[in-house]
Structure 1
Amino acid sequence: MPEESPAPESPPESPLIRSLRTAVAAAPGDIPLRLHLAELLLSTGLHDAAVTEAAAALQHAPGDAAARELMVRAMGMPAPPAPPAPIEPADPVAGRDVSSRPSGFDWRAAEQEVDGIVEPRFVEPPLGVDGSGDPGDADAWEVSAPGVVRLADVGGMQEVKDRLEAAFLAPMRNPELRRLYGKSLRGGLLLYGPPGCGKTFIARAVAGELGAGFLSVSVNDVLDMWIGNSERNMHEVFETARRQAPCVVFLDELDALGAKRSRTQHSGMRNTVNQLLTELDGIDSAANEGVFVLAATNVPWDVDLALRRPGRLDRTLLVLPPDAPAREAILRYHLRERPIEAVDLGRLVKATDGLSGADLAHVCESAAESALLDSARTGVIRMIGTKDLLDAAKSVVPSTEPWFAAARNVAMFANEGGMYDDLVTYLKKRRKL
């Protein structure tokens, strides 16, 4: 088999190019300087580097004609053809019929000759399935099929399940009672609490209980650098959910998507919050039928108050660190495929009081790491025991403590209208208030 010839090496950079690179790094917004560097790179055969610099210039100045022309040359693309010169009428005298043509020229034959060569001036884009004019919008958001996760799969946390059932799920499961009492098939629920305590998993379990699709949305999915695109993305999220109802729209990190507008300096972010309010209200009373909105945040006090008004995310649920049954279920889950021996799960559950679900996963990981290192040193496989897990639990600082430190101040001084009564009750029970 013939050997493949090695790829040609790029020519080395000259001292002048290196100096220009230093100058561009010091002034990244200097477009002429960056284009001069790109021209030198292109002239020395460094096409890829020239493309990189031209792209950086276009990021700073999207409409710069010189940067666009240099990008075309660096990529080896043919220059766009010049527009055809306009055909002057045979007789430009005012009032003369300019549509008349010399009798000796066959215009129809000329049109057939250039047919297919001259591009049309305007091309109408195909409409999307929703008539928006953007064929990509229909598939921009992926809705997960109704999952198999149910609330029964959430270990412990019975109080949270009971609150969900009473405030959210029961009206949705009983259509006859819903019609009797005039309850709309709409819902908005805000899950809040310390990080790592299972708010996203609970949201998926709610979608499973409702037999609804699940559409998870984060700030990265919505926010866009171009004006108007963030609002359009938010609208498309809800349009997708309406088309595929019943559907649960899960707004993750709501404090980023719906931050208080009074604290937001950027007008684009304020417009995005306004668009979210519009979508929650629906175009009319039936627009959001079958669309259930769940949101999660670690800092509900940073969420715009308008989002929590009646008819929007007007119900809240505090999701606290897992209780004893939940901790046992989480520990069993993370130890199920690890080599364990004679683990006293009861002692471990007591020793991990106050840890979040993420902390418990870290405890199991640390214990497994300790046993693995001992096995590597001795050459004898050692099982994970109770001591490994208890030692790991002692070394883990609860990740929820900073959250409770901030929440304590909110519960004491900013509990307007009893918004955080559940939090106050928990802090008093734990003697943290």
Structure 2
Amino acid sequence: MTDQAPNDAPQRDPLLDALRRAVQAAPDDVALRVHLGQLLLDAGRTEEATAEAAAALATAPADSSAAALMLAALQPGTGSLAEPETAAAPTTQAARPVPEFDWHAAEQQVDHIAEAAFVDDGATPDADPSSAWSPESSSVTFADVGGMEHVKARLTASFLAPLANPELRALYGKSLRGGLLLYGPPGCGKTYIARAVAGELGARFISVGIADVLDPYLGVSEQNIRGVFEAARAAAPCVVFIDEIDALGQRRSQTRSSSVRGMVNQLLTELDGVDGGNDGVFVLAATNQPWDVDPALRRPGRLDRTVLVLPPDAPARQAVFRSELSRRPVEGIDLATLAARTEGFSGADIAYACEVAAERALMDSVATGTPRLIGMADLTAAVSELRPSTGPWLDTARSVVTFGEDDGTYAELRAYLKKRKR
């Protein structure tokens, strides 16, 4: 091959042209591409050789021949992949050191081909678990809760009266800590009454469910529980409401899961306040299945007080009807009659009855083309279509108090079932 001037265009080489066509036909053939790059490097066409080396490495990043070609192309004067046989160097001359590969220069050569392998997204894997919980304020008070007078009285004795009377609290040595288990049929206002406690106390409120805590990775669920209580202690006075406590604190004798056992143990530790004082942290837990809660959670100093939240009585049912209908166009509603016809209904049942009545009025308005108000007939028809959802729970509860072991925890439930003759 004849020499060419530095500024002259490279002469056409039939062999190189043939190899280029072969590479275009088989772009993933690394060996063929490396061979083309070596010939280009031998011809002094370094930039083209570098491009072929980069393409080969993009196809096969671990290929040693492609890496050697890139090294030879980026280090001027290193020559081909295999040094041609020449006369042996004098024995007194030290062997030429192998040049160190300049990775920075290599990145500059190929940084237009691919994005960086790793990007710092600013994640903080060791973040404080308590930072995930933001205590909120509650605007609900006992005035917003219809009926439930016995529940309010128990909550007042446990939390409200000691906080409102600091002198008497100090005299009787009553601490600002404690736990209370609310149990009863679903849909009867356990969450609502917990928010009302926070509103009466003027305290912050944290609501916790199984989905907020449970994590598939070992130890993270326990860390989440610890974070809840750390956030509550920092925001004291604070009400921590644990919904479906039977899922988080189920009987350890009934499970073989180490993760469930770990959650229960961590919950016991936090309720005891071993790592920090729980003064000003009020724990309310709710469940529909109190017989599935681990007995250790109901020992003194933990969730030691139990309150039965029954289906709303007549005044409470009137209050629920009034609340649900206050946002709808109604006329001629007799709340006392509705309350009398919904004995055993939960608050959720009553809310659904109001929804059905509104739907009847809406569809009638669509059919006639004239909007009308929701009347007593709509609500009476809606109530007659429904059955109380509390029935199955009460049947289960009757079996538990009749045939199960009862240490007196369910005395209130037993009296209620006897009164209702279930």
Counterpart residue identity of residue 351, structure 1: R
Aligned to 1:195: 186
> What are the equivalent positions in structure 2 for 1:336-351 lying under 5 Å apart?
336-351=326-341
For 2:279 and 2:149, how far apart are their aligned partners in 1? 29
Instruction: Please give the secondary structure, in 2, of the residue aligned with 1:279.
Output: helix
List aligned pairs for 1:61-140, cutoff 5 A: 134-140=126-132
Pick from 269, 277, 296: which aligns with 2:286? 296
The alpha-carbon deviation at position 239 of structure 1 amounts to: 1.0
Aligned to 1:423: 413
Contact 1:415 1:421 in 2 (8 A): no
Q: Distance in 1 between matches of 2:279 and 2:152?
A: 24
Equivalent pairs: percent with the same residue?
60
Tell me which residue corresponds to 2:136.
144
Which amino acid in the other structure matches residue 167 of structure 1?
S
Partner of 2:199: 208
Structure 1 residue 172 corresponds to structure 2 residue 163: yes
Q: Which runs of 5 or more structure 1 residues have no equivalent in the other structure?
A: 1-42, 44-75, 81-109, 114-122, 128-132
Q: In terms of mean alpha carbon deviation, does 402-411 or 153-162 score higher? A: 153-162
1:39-54 matches, cutoff 5 A: none
- Displacement of 1:410: 1.2
Q: Which residue of 1 aligns with 2:209?
A: 218
Give the match for residue 308 of structure 1.
298
Residue in 1 aligned with 2:244? 253
Partner in structure 1 of residue 233 of structure 2: 242
Q: Distance in 2 between matches of 1:341 and 1:184?
A: 50
Counterpart of 1:313 in 2: which secondary structure? Answer: coil
Q: Which runs of 5+ in 2 are unaligned?
A: 1-27, 29-57, 63-101, 106-119
Give yes or no for contact 1:251–1:293 (8 Å, CA) kept in 2: yes
1:382 deviates by: 2.5
Aligned equivalent of 1:277: 268
Q: How many residues align?
A: 321
Question: 2-side partners of 1:237 and 1:342: how far apart?
Answer: 48
Q: How far 1:415 sits from its partner (Å)?
A: 4.9
Alignment deviations for residues 210-235 of structure 1 (CA, whole Å, 9 cap, x no partner): 11110111111111101111111111
Paired residue secondary structure (1:292): strand
Q: SS in structure 2 opposite 1:416?
A: coil
Runs of 4+ in structure 1 off by over 6 angstroms are none
Q: What is the match of residue 185 of structure 1?
A: 176
Rounded to whole Å, the distance in 2 between the matches of 1:364 and 1:415 is: 40
The Cα of 1:387 is off from its aligned counterpart by: 1.3
What is residue 38 of structure 2 aligned with on the other side? Answer: none
Aligned to 1:333: 323
State how far apart, in whole Å, the 1-side matches of 2:404 and 2:160 are.
Answer: 30
Instruction: Pick from 382, 389, 392 the counterpart of residue 399 of structure 1.
Output: 389
- Structure 1 position 138, deviation (Å): 4.3
2-structure distance, mates of 1:292, 1:162: 16
Residues 1:381 and 2:371 are matched in the alignment: yes
User: Greater Rg, structure 1 or structure 2?
Assistant: 2
What's the secondary structure of 1:296's corresponding residue?
A: strand
- Matched position secondary structure for 2:161: helix
CA distance in 2, matches of 1:167, 1:249: 15
Helix, strand or coil at the partner of 1:418: coil
TM-score for the superposition, normalised by structure 2: 0.70
What SS class does the counterpart of residue 239 from structure 1 fall into?
helix
Alpha-carbon distance, 1:148 to partner: 2.0
Alpha-carbon RMSD across the aligned residues, in angstroms, is: 3.1
CA distance in structure 1 between the aligned counterparts of 2:232 and 2:373, rounded to whole angstroms: 48
1:3-42 to 2 correspondences below 5 Å: none
- After superposition, give the CA deviation of every residue in 1:241-268 in whole Å (9 maximum; x if it has no partner): 1111111111110010101111112111
Helix, strand or coil at the partner of 1:250? strand
SS in 2 for 1:417: coil
